[in-house]
Structures are given as C-alpha cells and as structure tokens.
Amino acid sequence: LFSSSVVYRASSHMSKSNEIKRVSIEGNIAVGKSTFAKLLQNAGQDWEVIAEPISKWQNVDQTTPQTVNCPQQSSSNLLQMMYHDPKRWSYTFQTFSCMSRMRTQLQPPPARLLQSTGTPVQVYERSVYSDRYIFALNMFELGCINSTEWAVYQDWHSFLIEQFGHRIQLEGIIYLRASPQTCMERLGKRGRVEEQGIQLDYLEKLHTKHEDWLVSKSTKVHFEHLAKVPVLILDAEVEFEKDSKIQDNLLTKVRHFFN
Ligand code: TTP
C-alpha cells in the first residue's frame, strides 16, 4: 500500500547558513514518531529532539498560586479525562496540549547546537499544525468540540502563530506513513493506559486527516508559509524499531532530504 517514498526536496527552501533548521515528525498515533526521533538523534550530534510534552498532559499541575490553599488534588490526567469524556474535555485538552507544545518548542536550543559547524537540526515530535489540522479539527468534526469552542480555538491559535510562529517555523516535515491497522497493533502492544478505548475507526479518521494535509494537500491551512513546507513521506508500515538495515535506509532518505 505504501511501498514508495515520495520526496519533495527541502534543500532549495532552506537557508545556506548554519542556522538551526526545524523539522517536525508527523504521523498517526503509535506509528513510531518517538522511536524515529531517537533514531535521528543518535544518527548525528547535530540533531536534537524536542519530545512531545505528553507527561504534562498526564499530570496537569493544579497547584497554581490561586489554588495552593485549597484542598485539591495536586495533579490530574487530562489525557485520561479527554478519552473518558471527549465532549467535556476535548477543547480543554487541545488548548493545553498546544500551549504546552508551544512553550516547549520555544525554549532556546542547547549551546551544543548553536556551536555546531554542520547543519544543526531541531526535530519536533509533532507541531502546532498537527494540533490544529489533525486533532482539534477531527474533534470538531466529531462534535466533541462545539462551534463556539472551535471559533475560539482557531482565534487564539492563529494569533499565537502570528506572534511566535517565526521562532518555530518549520523547514521540513517528515510524515511517517502507515495503515491505521498497523498503528492499532502498535498501540495495543505499547499499552498506554489512557488509550485502551481507542477504536480502529478513530485511527482511520486521523489517518485521513494526515493524508489530506500532507499528501493530497486538500486541507485548508491558514498560514502561507505552511503550505510551502516540503514534506518527506516515509513508509513506516515496515517494523523499523529493531531492523538496522531499514533504519539505515530511512536515515539515508532523511539525509538526502536535507542536502
Ligand atoms: P501522539 O502525538 O500521536 O504521540 P504517540 O506517543 O502516539 O506517538 P508515537 O507512538 O508515534 O511516538 O499522541 C499522544 C497521545 O495524545 C495520543 O493518545 C493521542 C493524543 N493526542 C490528542 O488526543 N490530541 C492531540 O492534539 C495530540 C497532539 C495528541
């Protein structure tokens, strides 16, 4: 099904100086984004992974100055709450996950990367764009985010990108592409407690959203720059976690994408 990889060359769009480049890894739930990100990190010292702040979503600290004297629990699992009651919690979850991602990605890069003489690259696990055009949009279409919440979400999302987008601007997107069935199997194997109720149908919807955005490019995006970001599509249907030959093959495609 996904035997070939399609390369839209990134290099011509990239600056020639050794400024830090930013690339995001996209793909369905459990496709292997963090495994692939670690591969990239280990492949060269010029690559640094900015992991998705999922532990923050599982432990929302409630001890803000206003609540510190209240007898409340000190953290809550917003990821669990969202899966348990999506109509109630999807908007809150999508707000918090996007804000925490933006905060994480806006952190200054480590000195090691700034001093690099090669091509330093920051690798993001997902982006503020998949937050909106994959997950939040899907939840809106499923009726879990209502039209008022969706209008509010889009308003602050656009505003934040206008204000801070230049600091997290992407030079490339790597799309790890696999069938929803394969993602479902990987999701089952990893056994993240919050995800136990996820059905194949949900992964199929997310898969279509990725395809619309990154392959057929039929998703209406609201940021001029985003529509021009080159996309490298990698076949993640094959198990790559323990196969060094497949890993080398994928890494070669990534290097080619950047040179
Ligand atoms: P992913 O961002 O897909 O991360 P992952 O750990 O599944 O990635 P991989 O296995 O490929 O390394 O999703 C993490 C969890 O958060 C997942 O249960 C889906 C959920 N989620 C949302 O519901 N909405 C969102 O906007 C995002 C970013 C994640």
Q: Using one digit for the tens of pLDDT, what is the confidence trace for 25-38?
A: 999 999 999 999 99
From 25, 28, 29, the mutation candidate for ligand 1 (largest count of ligand atoms within 8 A of CB) is 29
Ligand 1: which residue has its CA nearest to atom 4?
A: 29
Q: How far is the CA of 29 from the centre of ligand 1 (A)?
A: 5
Residue 16 lies in a domain: yes
Please state the atom number of ligand 1 nearest to the C-alpha of residue 194.
18
pLDDT at 67: 57
Do 46 and 115 meet the contact criterion of CB atoms below 8 Å apart? Answer: no
Residue nearest to atom 18 of ligand 1 (CA): 195
Q: Return the pLDDT at 194.
A: 97
Residue whose Cα lies nearest atom 3 of ligand 1: it is: 29
Quickly state the pLDDT bin for 65 (edges 50, 70, 90): low
Atom number in ligand 1 closest to CA 30: 10
What pLDDT shows up at residue 70? 60
| CATH code at position 205 | 3.40.50.300
Residues 6+ away with beta carbon under 8 Å from 20: 109, 113, 114, 120, 121, 122
Could you tell me the residue range of the domain that residue 171 belongs to?
Answer: 11-56+73-258
Ligand 1 centroid–CA 169 distance in Å is: 21
Cβ–ligand 1 distance for 48 under 6 Å, the answer no
Give catalytic residue positions: 125
Query: Given the structure tokens 């050794």, which residue do they identify?
Result: 18
CA separation (Å) from 22 to 33, 55, 145, 190, 205? Answer: 15, 23, 30, 28, 27
61 belongs to a structural domain: no
118 lies in a domain? yes
* 82 lies in some domain: yes
pLDDT of the residue at 115: 81
Closest CA to 49 of 129, 125, 131, 127: 125
Going 23 to 29 to 35 to 39, the CA torsion angle's sign is negative
- pLDDT higher for 139 or 1? 139
Paired tokens of 248: 């080398």
Domain membership of residue 68 (yes or no) is no
Q: Which atom of ligand 1 approaches the CA of 28 most closely?
A: 3
Rounded-to-integer distance, Cα 185 and Cα 190, Å: 9
User: Domain count of the chain?
Assistant: 1
